[in-house]
Amino acid sequence: MTLLKTTKLSKVFGGLRAVSNFEMEINKGELVGLIGPNGAGKTTAFNLLTGVYEPTEGEIIFDGQSVVGLKPYQVTQKGIARTFQNIRLFSEMTVLDNVKVAYHFHMKYGLAEAVSRLGRYFGEEEELEEQAIRFLEIFQLADKKDEVAKNLPYGEQRRLEIARALAAKPKLLLLDEPAAGMNPQETQQLLQMIRWIRKEFDLTILLIEHDMSLVMNVCERIYVLDYGKIIASGTPDEIKNNKQVVEAYLGEEVN
């Protein structure tokens, strides 16, 4: 079953086509990679998929519906959550509150109940905190729940960002260079975590990553972007042996 499909998706900034005729199809349950040299347009593609940018041209169909023109929070409500290349936590808030923020998309109490703290407010808030703590336990952060997010070590901040994205209960999780800044041991742990959360949460995952070892070991299919255009797609073995892909990365012809 197709979960995400883009057709002739393009984004122009002034005279620059940052993404051009970007076409991708992801089936439910897949773990797909999006790779390419620096400046290839990968993060721009993520920003288009999540409503940060509106396409100049093209269509994005998610779970059978167009999401073009929706605001980022509306895209999240539809079922797409993401992390960022540069970690974007609520740095002055506690670890627990960072996760609770994501759950508020699913709260059913109204504004009047929130202001008066009557009706469903207390019951739902109590349930929300219990769920958030369970998430922190999964990501081995429960003992840090009252710490301010900016005080966490880098690897724990990255785990918290992923936990917050999952708390939004997405169908599709976009991970933008999750291994950036990690040492080899942390990267290996991340690889295992990505596999686990995909299975545990029945997720579809789209991953941008420069660490080719991680990409080749965790992804089932890979799209390659260069100068804003898809130049190849296929299995990890097909991508590794694709002459055009190697040239794009190395900048030279492969014999």
Q: Can you give the pLDDT of all 255 residues of the chain as single tens digits?
A: 999 999 999 999 988 999 999 999 999 999 999 999 888 999 999 999 999 999 999 999 999 999 999 999 999 999 999 988 777 787 888 999 888 887 655 555 444 444 445 445 555 667 778 888 888 888 889 999 999 999 998 888 888 888 888 888 899 999 998 888 888 888 888 889 899 989 988 999 999 988 888 999 999 999 999 999 999 999 999 998 998 888 877 554 433
Three-class secondary structure of residue 201 per DSSP:
coil
Q: Is there a contact between 54 and 68 (Cβ–Cβ < 8 Å)?
A: yes
Q: Count how many Cα atoms sit within 13 Å of the Cα of residue 158 in the half-sphere of its side chain.
A: 20
Identify the H or E element spanning 101: helix 95-103
Domains of the chain: 2-79+170-250 (3.40.50.300)
Dihedral over Cα of 181, 184, 185, 189: its sign: positive
What gap in Å lies between CA 220 and CA 217, rounded to an integer? 8
The residue to which tokens 């609520």 are assigned? 90
CB atoms within 10 A of CB 163: 22
